[in-house]
Amino acid sequence: MNFQQLEYALAVNRTKHFGRAAESCNVTQATLSAMIKKLEEEISIQLFDRSRHPITTTEEGLIVLQKAKEILAKQQELFQISQQETGALQGELRLGIIPTISNTLLPLILPRILKEHPDLKLTISEITTEEILHQLAHNQIDLGLLSTPIEEMDEMYEESILYYEAMMIYGITEENKDFVSSKDVQNKKIWLLEEGHCFRSQSMTLCNIQENKDNSENLIFKSNSFETLINLSDQMGGLTLIPELYYSSLNNDRKRKTKGFQSPIPVREISLLALKPLIKRQSMLELSKLIKDIIPPELSTKNYQNNELNIIGI
């Protein structure tokens, strides 16, 4: 028996298909099938009922695979010992990140990560909050980078808060107006991101928009990018909300049409999330430290006390 066999068996249990499991493990189906068959022979337990479609894990198999998860978790803990000694990010790290963070955060942090941690094999997936939670629970990613707090998030996750990012409003033409309030944007035409983006729900909360509200002045279009929303605002009027890091990438003309909110300013909380028990503890600590070194100094929230911030949850 070896660790690879356990990983292959867990992949089949997750995908319910030998072909997809082999693809996720980057091996041929024949190799994966042979390794699992050998494992079953070694422990004298049939893990899967191959006659069913999709493939079903047997009752005994479920018990074995739970132990396999625990064994692989201990394996990762052993690998983490050497990492703790060096204080470096190394080995394999699978990171899930929501799209409304990745487009501005990754260009700022990736060059430093890759330069300072050459032994790190980093795999990044741009996915939704819901998918991050799902993949963490099924050991498909190690860490999630997303907006928190998440309503009813249970104690199965470890959280490291990284920074607070101001939410700003685009489309304000009054140049003598330095700040706006949430009341200033209520009952206005608001361009929103597509459903599934947490920034959409945060924008709706801030602007007091109801999901089922039948009002074309509020819910006209759903997009997957801030750039599209800004272009629509420029061409057709109306407002949209953007995060502060995205604001920093705008040209001067567009910056003049963007205003911050009055105190307490609405912010989104950005965090790293991991499943307990924490396997990649040192990776989480090192990545958190690196992001905190780079990002908070770039944000206006550094000038505010916590009681001056209004955290908009998911």
Domain final position from 60, 78, 96: 78
Could you tell me if 97 and 150 lie in one domain? Answer: yes
* Enclosing domain of residue 152: 82-161+273-289
Could you tell me if 170 and 257 lie in one domain? Answer: yes
Domain final position from 58, 78, 98: 78
Domain final position from 21, 56, 78: 78
Could you tell me if 145 and 182 lie in one domain? Answer: no
- The reply to whether the predicted model has a pTM over 0.85 is no
Number of domains in the chain: 3
- Quote the CA–CA distance of 140 and 153 in Å, as a whole number: 19
Per-residue pLDDT of the chain (314 residues; tens, 9 = 90+): 889 999 999 999 999 999 999 998 889 999 999 999 999 999 999 999 999 888 999 999 999 999 998 888 777 766 655 555 455 677 889 999 999 999 999 999 999 999 988 888 999 999 999 999 989 988 889 999 999 988 766 678 899 999 999 999 999 887 767 788 877 777 788 888 887 788 888 888 888 776 544 444 544 456 788 999 999 999 988 899 999 999 999 999 999 999 999 889 999 999 999 988 777 888 899 999 999 999 999 899 998 888 899 999 87
Q: Are 102 and 243 in contact (CB under 8 A)?
A: no
Could you tell me if 44 and 91 lie in one domain? Answer: no
The helix, strand and coil proportions of the chain, stated in percent and rounded to the nearest 5, come to 45, 20, 30
Could you tell me if 105 and 124 lie in one domain? Answer: yes
Residue 300 lies in a domain: no
Residue 100 lies in a domain: yes
What is the 8-class DSSP label of residue 221?
-
Could you tell me if 113 and 21 lie in one domain? Answer: no
